Structure formats: structure tokens, C-alpha cells
Structure 1
Amino acid sequence: MAGLFYGLIDQTREFLRLPDAPVPSVGEYLKREISQHAAGWTEDEETRKLKLAILNSFFNVECCVSGTHSMDLVALAPFGEYTVLPGLDCTFPGYVGLTNRIMASLPEDVVVFNKPVKTIHWNGSFREASSPGETCPVLVECEDGGCFPAHHVIVTVPLGFLKERLDTFFEPPLPTQKAEAIRKIGFGTNNKIFLGLRSPSGSQTASSSRWSPARLVQKLIGFLVLPPFESAHVLCGFIEVLLSLTQVLRRETQNPNSPRPGACCAPRWHSAPYTRGSYSYVAVGSSGDDVDLLAQPLPADGAEAQVLFAGEATHRAFYSTTHGALLSGWREADRLIALWDTQAQLPEPAFLFWRLGTALISHVYHGVWSGRA
């Protein structure tokens, strides 16, 4: 069943080079092909049901990988544009370690925290108090009333935030094509629930690096047993809906006396005000061209870039990944370096970094799993 499912996944990528896709979505294509295969199965009914259940679990895993609630929402034609970065996933203890290392190379007191941004005003003429007579085309207005004039602003907010605040976050509003691209690109939600256990729940099962529930609970697709931390053992479940995980663990480990977890950590990316989801995918009705549109700086008439866009949703090949977010940031930094290099008579720009709540200085919060790392 794994060979069948992932063989079909490989086939979906071939439609990138064809003029027309047979159906709009990846989910429709997979279900159509699986139905044709299932019609030729000769096993008894129980075996057929087991095969379909296994294939259904692969569907749920693929939803998690793609960051979508259903593969029916993922466009088939551009699916092959996503590129898997060669090499192994890199696991490290928390993204704060990464941002701390980046921060260590910056001068002190240049990063401003806890300054949620209300509106980015662009294509204007705003005075800089510290430089009388100088004007800036951009003004970053914060929710507390503070303002930062700037020559350039790099916006790295998650796509979910842009979708929610599209009508108020930019003044003047974004050009119609860019706004439409933001609306069309998909942005799903994946959450991980971490359960702290005093001891592994069922020695034989918990010693395995990974298992899948015999019966799926909503979008629960499995558990990872993480390395023990001091006296605690941690299970990581990739889920979208939190039900009674204690009951799930008891059922799947066949240990009705398994104790309740002593601790539970559950991020909520969809309800978090500065994320509103996890990462992007190319939805039905959108294409890689929309990703490129989102990445284009403003103004779009070829004039000096004022508002630049980075983040995983702006990388055509590596969307939904941390490396995509990182490379998009380098891309926009290179854009500004090239701009100022050709205008050496202008003063050296002061780059302003700010953080909206806990999310916006860098869009690198994705799960380290299945290539989304």
C-alpha cells in the first residue's frame, strides 16, 4: 500500500510539465487512481478494508506534510513545483536557539520587541525626527502609537496573518493582483501536542520510534517517542483536533492502566493572532505564479523597493519550510544590497527589525518532520 500511494504521489508531480491536469486537486487524482486499483483487488472483504484503512492513514500523513485539511484543497497542476531539499532534516532544541544565534551577530539594542504593528504606510513622505530635512517613503505604525519611518521594510509575517489583516495592514491597500494572490494561496494548520510521561506507556510499543493508531481519531496521524528528558518521556503527536489523548494512548498501547500524562503542551497556531495557521500550500485555483506575485516588492512599477516580502509562502520551490523562509530572507537582503550598491551617494541605511508578538521577526516555526524542516 505504501508503494501504491507514494507511487501515485510521484505521478502527481508529472502534471507540472503537461498542458492540462485531469482533475483540479491532488486528492481527487489520488482517490480516482486508488479506486481503479481497488476494483482489481481479489482479496476477501476484511483484507480490502484493511488496505483502504492503510491508504487512508497515508492520506492523513500527506495532509500533515502539505499543511492542509484535505488533499482535495491542494492543486494538482503545480504540485510538482515543490522541491525536496537534499540531505537530512536538522533537529535542534527549539527555534529560539536559532534566532538567538542570529541575534548574537547584531549590535546590542537594535532589535525592538513587543511592538505589534498596526499598519505599514508606504508610497508616502514621512519625516525622520533624528535627521531633520530627510523624508522616508515608509512609516511603520505600531498598535501602541509608536512610529518608525524607514526607507525599506521587509515583511515576514505568516500568510495567515496577511489573509486576516489584508484590508488594514497596508495603506494604501495592496495592488489588486497581490491581494488576490494572498487570498488564493492556501494556508493550513498543523499542531503538535507534547505529552510528558513519567515512564514509557507500554515498554514494547514505546520503544518503537514511531507507530500509527489502529483507528484514527480525527486527524491524529501518529506518535513520535522523543528522547527522554531527565526523568520524563515525551510523546509528540501530530494532530489537528485535540481529543482525549490519554484514552488514545491506553487503547493503542493496550495498557488500560497507563497513567495520565503529567504535562501537556499544545501550541495553537490557528488561533494565535500573529500566525493564524502553520504554513502554506498551493491551493486549487492558485499556482506558483501567485507565490511569485506575493514575493514581488512594492511599488510594483519598478521604482525603488519600499515594502519587501519574505517568508516561506514567498518561495516558489521551498514553500512551507524553514529553509524556504531563510532563503527568502537572503533574497530580499540581496535585493536591498544591490539597490544601495548602485546608489553609493545615498547614506548607509539603518535596517530596522521589529517583532510582532512572538512570530514575525522570522517565519521559522514549522515542524521538523517529513521535509517540513
Structure 2
Amino acid sequence: RIRSERSFGGVVEVGAHWIHGPSRGNPVFQLAAEYGLLGEKELSEENQLVETGGHVGLPSVTYTSSGVRLSLQLVAEMATLFYGLIDQTREFLQAAETPVPSVGEYLRKELSRLVVGWTEDEETKKLKLAVLNAFFNLECCVSGTHSMDLVALAPFGEYAVLPGLDCTFPKGYQGLTDCMMASLPQDTVVFEKPVKTIHWNGAFQEAAFPGETFPVSVECEDGDRFPAHHVIVTVPLGFLKEHLDTFFDPPLPAEKAEAIRKIGFGTNNKIFLEFEEPFWEPDCQLIQVVWEDTSPLEDPVPALRDAWFRKLIGFVVLPAFGSVHVLCGFIAGLESEFMETLSDEEVLLCLTQVLRRVTGNPRLPAPKSVLRSRWHSAPYTRGSYSYVAVGSTGDGLDQLAQPLPADSTDAQLQILFAGEATHRTFYSTTHGALLSGWREADRLLALWAPQAQQPRPRL
């Protein structure tokens, strides 16, 4: 899910965007620093010490759907309120029971209580609720979910936030995987080879290895088979959910299959818009959009065709590529999945209208071009990343990480599992994915070379 594309005269991240918590405890940051992929600012001690609490920075400018620019003071006040409540949700980790099942219900319950004490006029109250609704939508993007009502309250605090001010790779995230791949011998990796079924618990033979039997055989869609002693499965959880019944033969044990079904996996997409000239100010980093008639205390009836764009949280301003200016919009959930079904022209036209409306400038020039991700339709991902859904717990992530057969002695490990959805405290992140891969590599190293020194300390 790292996908850096050359577009608009520069590099844009269609997939992973930031190093979250770039500091000494983050292996992605450590590797990026070792490979010389980061700039001075990203590497500075000062940047590494910033405590964000995992919250997105304040918008540089907030526009409303009636074309009004909101005071930063009002937005900051609502951000403080919202993130204060989010921090409270993390306190239920050790609780014997929770007042409600989901993060969303808890936030709404607490908000309803607070709103009673607001003393402003009705219009201001409505505006404050609309701003809070925008923060709910932002949190959906962060969690990769349609609604915070789907995110379980009890385990929410288990997600670990590392210190450091989120940063990007000046030349693209893919520089990291390119450097890692460069250390592999030639022809180690086979591309364009979709796997159909992993056959395990067998005794498979291969002409090239007479007299040897293998417990695993990986069958590809083109009919080729690869015999193996061990297979590490790192496909996204969305793919596993869709192919659970056919991808493993024999089928997975019931408790692992149940973990796959119950852990949440949602969609968060990006829409890049290219402009001839910026309409935003030079130091602008994040443009927030607030729909005035929305409130987190009311359940919207999603008329997707007419209102999908209301889930858009706004736009991150990308560093300019010479004379090219690009905004990156973020949108999560069912609205995001609906957006994938539209044509580029429809998306561009719609967002041009949105920007003209919110800036109050009906003559704002339309973007020159659009590029977007479609993570839900992508057959090998079927979404973006995982979250702990209502009905699941951190134990489900651990269950997904357990190798098979479950009752084996180490020597018989056949299928191992890695990927962001198998890391209990860093799910949904690139560093969680990396650590999970190291974890499974270590498992095999310990099996085949128990005396060998581990090459690097594991975090």
C-alpha cells in the first residue's frame, strides 16, 4: 500500500503518505534516516520530540458551505473540545465495562451533555456542531472507517502513538521500499503472479527436489505452483475478508476466520487536484471544509449521489512542484467508496463546484486535472487499512498474527501472517506493517538458525 506516482511534474503518494511519529521508536523513520531519504527538518531533534497525541494539526483556513471563512479561534476551540473527548475514549482500556460499545456513541453522549451548557445563540451553536461534525469526518479518515460508531470503545486506547511531527518523504515513500529491495539478490521477487490458493498441511513433491516433501504448495491463478516449507501471508485484510473461503485449503481454523471477519477494514481515499495558480495563501497547509447544516448529534441519511462530497474533510496543500500547485483531498467511508464509481470528469466538476461555493468565488478557475486513489475497488486491497471494530478486540489482531498449524511444534510452522492488521498497537500504519514482517522473519530465523545473532535490535 505504498504507491508513489510521478504526476503533475512531481511525486504524489497515492497510498501511504506520512511517517506517523517520526522518532527513535519508529523503524520506518530509522530506516529512512539510514538510507538518507529525509531532509534536515525531518531529522531534527526538535521534530522528533513533538507530542501530537496522534491528532492532526489545526487547519490553516476553514471555509463553510455558505462561503464564510470561520475564525481560527472558533475552530481551535472545537478542536480542543473534540480531541479532549477523543483522549477520554482511550481511558477505557482497562475498564471492566464501557458505557457504550463504540467510540462514536461515547463522543456523542459526552457532546450532548456539554451542549446543554452552551450559552451562545442558536446560530452559533449550530455552527459549532457543524465544525465538530467536520472533526468527526476527519477522525473517520484517520481510523479508516465509515463512522466512529463502528470503532470499538474498549480497545481504542490500545493504539500506540509515537512522538514526532508527522513527516513525508521529499522524493516519495517508494524510495524506502526501493532501498530495501536493492539489498535482495536479483530475481528473488516474482511480480504479476496472483495467488489463487495456499494449500497447506500436505505432503507436496517437486521434481527439482527429488525425495523431499513440502507441507505447503502455493497455487497461482495461471496454474503455476510453488512448493514451500513456510509461507508468510501479508495480503491486506480486505482481500482476506473477500477470499476467506477459497484462499486457504484446508480452510482456516474457525477462530482465525472469525477474527478476519470481525476486525474492521474501511476505505480512506485521496483526490488530488492540480491548479494553474494557487487560490490559497503561501503558508497554507490544510484547508478545512465545514457543512453548516450538519451535526454529529443527528444521523444523516446518506443520499450518496447528491451528497457524497460532504464527507470530504478538506484539502492538504502539497509542496509546490515548480509552477504546479496541488491540493490533496481526503474522504472516508461509504461516500469514499461511492466516489470510486464516478468518472474523473464527474469528480472534477463536483469538487470545482464545492470549492467555488466554499470560497465564495463563483469564478474560481477549475482544476486542470484530477488523480485519485480507488482503494476499495482495487482487487488486492478492497479498502485502505484496519481498525478494531465493535465486536472485536485487540485479541483478534493477535489471533490473526498466530502462525499455523496452531498446535504445531516450531519445526512445522507452515503459514505465518504479517501486515498492519496483525500488529496489536500499531495497526493501520506502515511502521506496524514493517514490525510485523520483522516479527515473522525473526520467527523463522529462530527456527532455522537459533544460534544466529539477530542483525538489528527489534523495537
What secondary structure does 2:93 align onto?
helix
Counterpart mapping for 1:5-20 below 5 A? 5-20=82-97
Cα distance between partner residues in 2 of 1:248 and 1:276: 28
- Please tell me whether residue 268 in structure 1 is matched to residue 382 in structure 2: no
Alignment match of 1:145 (pick from 198, 217, 223): 223
The alpha carbon displacement at 1:228 in A equals 1.1
What secondary structure does 1:325 align onto?
helix
What secondary structure does 2:318 align onto?
strand
Alignment match of 2:178 (pick from 97, 100, 123): 100
Unpaired runs of at least 5, structure 1: 345-373
Cα distance between partner residues in 1 of 2:214 and 2:434: 27
The alpha carbon displacement at 1:212 in A equals 0.8
Cα distance between partner residues in 1 of 2:396 and 2:112: 32
- Please tell me whether residue 308 in structure 1 is matched to residue 400 in structure 2: no
Match of 1:47 in 2: 124
The alpha carbon displacement at 1:97 in A equals 2.0
Counterpart mapping for 1:139-178 below 5 A? 139-178=217-256
Deviation >4 Å, runs of 4+: none
Matched AA of 2:368:
G
Counterpart mapping for 1:30-109 below 5 A? 30-92=107-169, 93-109=171-187
- Is this contact kept in 1: 2:262–2:392, CA < 8 A? yes
CA change 1:85–1:129 in 2 (3 A) is: farther
Cα distance between partner residues in 1 of 2:135 and 2:194: 40
CA change 1:179–1:343 in 2 (3 A) is: farther
The alpha carbon displacement at 1:296 in A equals 0.2
- Is this contact kept in 1: 2:291–2:310, CA < 8 A? no
Match of 1:214 in 2: 290
Larger mean Cα displacement after TM superposition, 257-266 or 291-300: 257-266
What secondary structure does 2:392 align onto?
coil
| Residues 347-371 of structure 1, C-alpha deviations (whole Å, 9 max, x = no match) | xxxxxxxxxxxxxxxxxxxxxxxxx
Match of 2:384 in 1: 278
Counterpart mapping for 1:353-372 below 5 A? none
Cα distance between partner residues in 1 of 2:139 and 2:280: 29
What secondary structure does 1:196 align onto?
strand
Identical positions, percent? 73
Cα distance between partner residues in 1 of 2:448 and 2:165: 37
Cα distance between partner residues in 2 of 1:259 and 1:98: 37
What secondary structure does 1:167 align onto?
coil
Match of 1:328 in 2: 436
Match of 1:186 in 2: 264
- Please tell me whether residue 120 in structure 1 is matched to residue 198 in structure 2: yes
Cα distance between partner residues in 1 of 2:427 and 2:211: 42
The alpha carbon displacement at 1:207 in A equals 4.6
Match of 1:238 in 2: 330
The alpha carbon displacement at 1:262 in A equals 1.6
Cα distance between partner residues in 1 of 2:165 and 2:212: 49
The count of aligned residue pairs is: 342
Matched AA of 1:281:
Y
Cα distance between partner residues in 2 of 1:253 and 1:208: 14
Larger mean Cα displacement after TM superposition, 323-332 or 121-130: 121-130
Cα distance between partner residues in 1 of 2:190 and 2:117: 63
Q: What is the root-mean-square deviation of aligned Cα atoms in Å?
A: 1.5
The alpha carbon displacement at 1:252 in A equals 2.5
- Is this contact kept in 1: 2:79–2:132, CA < 8 A? yes
The alpha carbon displacement at 1:203 in A equals 4.3
Match of 2:15 in 1: none
CA change 1:249–1:320 in 2 (3 A) is: same
The alpha carbon displacement at 1:324 in A equals 0.2
